A and B are shown apart, each in its own frame.
Chain A
Amino acid sequence: DAGITQSPRHKVTETGTPVTLRCHQTENHRYMYWYRQDPGHGLRLIHYSYGVKDTDKGEVSDGYSVSRSKTEDFLLTLESATSSQTSVYFCAISEGQTSGNTIYFGEGSWLTVV
């Protein structure tokens, strides 16, 4: 398995509180991604990063922000959590075309907003 660690793995939080999920990789891969997975929607991209301090939005970025201050860490922040953000969040990494495009996923973070 690719060296990807997500934390926390499980979290219950209250509506309106800020939440930060962390993704840490040991592979020195250039690209990092945050996806959310919900029944009937598959995997939807929230934000991605293509280098330190280089990030861009995905298809469901509203209500989320990200930061990447080091190659190995990619943080996802919910500034004010809502019940619609209850989901499973997966971090993923890729070296891009230089290594054949393969995307590896972390183990997931289960977030419940009550």
Chain B
Amino acid sequence: EIVMTQSPATLSVSPGERATLSCRASQSVNSNLAWYQQKPGQAPRLLFFGASTRATGIPARFSGSGSGTEFTLTISSLQSEDFAVYYCQQYNNWPSWTFGQGTKVEIK
């Protein structure tokens, strides 16, 4: 089973600052990596698939990168609506999934 590890668990950032979130896979998942945003009381929202392809409607301040075992989600200038929990998900051995444990981005 592929294990996904996200870091840090919590990231404290001021509005307007840059946020960098990491996701590591226990073995290569190629580029079969998605990122989701979840706000309290809401279902997850797809941000990226294929590690770096933005989903429909996702602002350009969000970017995704990486391949193999190391992935990064970057938010270039945090807006108030970006404070949320972010999850990575591998689908390299589809139709199986694994999620990371999440990174909470909170207001500093």
- Asked if A and B bind, the verdict is no
Could you list which residues of chain B lie within 8 angstroms of chain A, going by C-beta atoms? Answer: none
